[in-house]
Amino acid sequence: MEILLAIMTGVLYAAGTYMILRRSIVKLIIGIILFGNGVNLLIFLLGRITKGNPPIISPELKHFTDIYADPIPQALILTSIVISFGLQAFAIILVKRAYKVLKTDDLDMLNTLDEDS
């Protein structure tokens, strides 16, 4: 299972890199989304996949005695998902507004339009 997730992380990074190198600003946003999902999978893999009990210590014990699931990577991924959703929504609105005003989403055309003014 971990090998499959590691391969999927690599595929998401490769696809994100490919999309970021395209000229369209929409493809740039899609590449950033793919990178974000790849990072989430990487953090999930770094926390190790374990089938265990929730990390709650009973009152009579002073430390964990059996295998437990680490909550830190899961909390980091949840926070990352919320932040990346906000970033994606903001970027999509900016792209929509730029396309409405300039009638192009090509990054090279956006640079030349700025110099002409």
Q: Which residue has the higher pLDDT, 86 or 101?
A: 86
pLDDT grade, residue 115 (50/70/90)? low
Predicted structure pTM score: 0.76
DSSP per-residue codes, the chain: -HHHHHHHHHHHHHHHHHHHTSSBHHHHHHHHHHHHHHHHHHHHHHT-----B-S---TT-SS--S-B--HHHHHHHHHHHHHHHHHHHHHHHHHHHHHHHHS--BHHHHHHHHHH-
The percentage of residues in the chain with a pLDDT greater than 70, rounded to a whole number, is 88
- CB atoms under 10 Å from CB of 47, counted, come to 17
Q: Which residue has the higher pLDDT, 91 or 1?
A: 91
User: Is a pLDDT exceeding 60 seen at residue 99?
Assistant: yes
Q: Return the structure tokens found at 42.
A: 């990487």
Q: What is the CATH number of the domain that holds 65?
A: 1.10.287.3510
Average pLDDT over residues 41-70: 76
Domain count, the chain: 1
CB of 52 closer than 8 Å to CB of 68: yes
- Residue 47 sits in which domain range? 2-116
